[in-house]
Amino acid sequence: MDEITHDKAETADDALVSSLIIRVGLRVRIARERKGIPRRVLSEISGVSPRYLAQLEAGDGNISIGLLQKIATALDHRIEWIMGDDDPWDADSLRMLKMYRAADTDTQKQVLQILNPDTLLVTHANRICLVGLRGAGKSTLGALAGNALGVPFVELNRKIEEQSGMAIAEVMALYGQEGYRKLEAQAINRIMETYDTMVLAVSGGIVAAPDTYNLLLNNFQTIWLKASPEEHMARVRAQGDERPMAGNPEAMEQLKLILANREILYGKATAQIDTSGKAVNASLSELLDVLKQRNFKPTAS
């Protein structure tokens, strides 16, 4: 009798798991289609293979929580929305999110201050972090701003290379994306222990690591350096790097999709500066003005 009861319990549990897998796959597919993202592009953004994505959307993939988190981040959805019982597209929280996204910057800041009044009390005014895609001007403007203010300028990838004893390409080849993200978080923690005043430039993909990005948002004044897709691509090629276009005629469309999908995440930054069509000195002057407005006061680090 006990064996029969046990078998029935296993059958019920299996049915619940199967139902969850099917629900998750359906929601991932709907979220992807709503954003107009081909599965191949979602694979590139999330780092999850097309085979896994196909299995997941078909309700056949028993995907790990780690991979599902990457997919959720790439789709700009919370993982609990994808896994939960409630329909995420009918939830009050999603309607609120849509209204928040449609609001202007001042309204968004007022909402954040009401919901989290302690935000403005965080003491990180003298740590500056520049975020944005490659080609936005983070390294160039970061170095110039550091020099103008008399404070250290640090590139996160250089710190990771010092920490690991190898080039970033070797880190990625040896440890993969997940290993790189762990080193990235460790490097940021070391930087915070070392510098009270500084300008930091980080990789464009750091926003895809929620915990690490929140670490930056909570401990730095983050400035989003943005540019048009065409200017991003032109600047990278001007640096002598033809890889973005090599053998990939859809590179520009993919870049536009990446920018569109990361826009909300980059938009969480304290401030933003559009460097499109501007001379370096003009963008630098704008950056220094923003820092002055944000009460940046260089001190000994």
Question: Please, are residues 122 and 218 in contact by the beta-carbon 8 Å criterion?
Answer: yes
Q: Does this chain's domain 2-97 share its CATH topology with 103-293?
A: no
Does residue 3 register a pLDDT over 70?
A: no
pLDDT class for 89, splitting at 50, 70, 90? low
Q: Establish how many alpha carbons lie within 13 A of residue 51's alpha carbon, considering only the half-sphere containing its beta carbon.
A: 0
- What is the predicted pLDDT for the residue at 22? 83
| Structure confidence by residue, pLDDT tens digits, 115-139 | 765 444 444 668 999 999 888 889 9
Distance of alpha carbon 284 from alpha carbon 12, whole angstroms: 62
- Alpha carbon dihedral 207, 211, 212, 215, in 10-degree steps, equals 110
| Structure confidence by residue, pLDDT tens digits, 182-218 | 899 999 999 998 998 999 999 988 998 888 998 898 8
- The predicted model gives 273-284 an average pLDDT of 90
Query: Bridge partners of 199?
Result: 128, 153
Higher confidence at residue 106 or residue 193? 193
- What is the predicted pLDDT for the residue at 301? 47
- What is the predicted pLDDT for the residue at 239? 65
Higher confidence at residue 91 or residue 59? 59
- What is the predicted pLDDT for the residue at 94? 62
Burial class (CB in 10 A: 0-12, 13-18, 19+), 218: exposed
Does residue 142 register a pLDDT over 70?
A: yes
Does residue 252 register a pLDDT over 50?
A: yes
Average pLDDT score, the chain: 80
What string of H, E and C letters represents the secondary structure of 166-181? CCHHHHHHHHHHHHHH
* Sequence-ordered alpha helix ranges (H) in the chain: 2-35, 39-46, 50-57, 65-74, 79-83, 92-102, 105-115, 138-149, 156-164, 168-194, 210-219, 229-238, 251-266, 280-293
Higher confidence at residue 16 or residue 47? 47
How far is CA 287 from its chain centroid?
22
Question: Please, are residues 228 and 234 in contact by the beta-carbon 8 Å criterion?
Answer: no
Per CATH, is 103-293 categorized as 3.40.50.300? yes
- The predicted model gives 157-170 an average pLDDT of 90
- What is the predicted pLDDT for the residue at 6? 46
Domain boundaries, the chain: 2-97, 103-293
Residues 6+ apart with CB under 8 A from 8: none
- What is the predicted pLDDT for the residue at 51? 85
Higher confidence at residue 12 or residue 266? 266
Question: Please, are residues 203 and 194 in contact by the beta-carbon 8 Å criterion?
Answer: no
Name which of 57-71, 188-202, 266-280 the model is least confident about.
Answer: 57-71
Does residue 242 register a pLDDT over 60?
A: no
How far, CA to CA in Å, does 27 sit from each of 38, 222, 224? 15, 32, 30
Q: For a pLDDT cut of 90, what percent of the chain falls above it?
A: 22
Question: Please, are residues 261 and 250 in contact by the beta-carbon 8 Å criterion?
Answer: no
Q: Which CATH number is associated with domain 2-97?
A: 1.10.260.40
- What is the predicted pLDDT for the residue at 233? 80
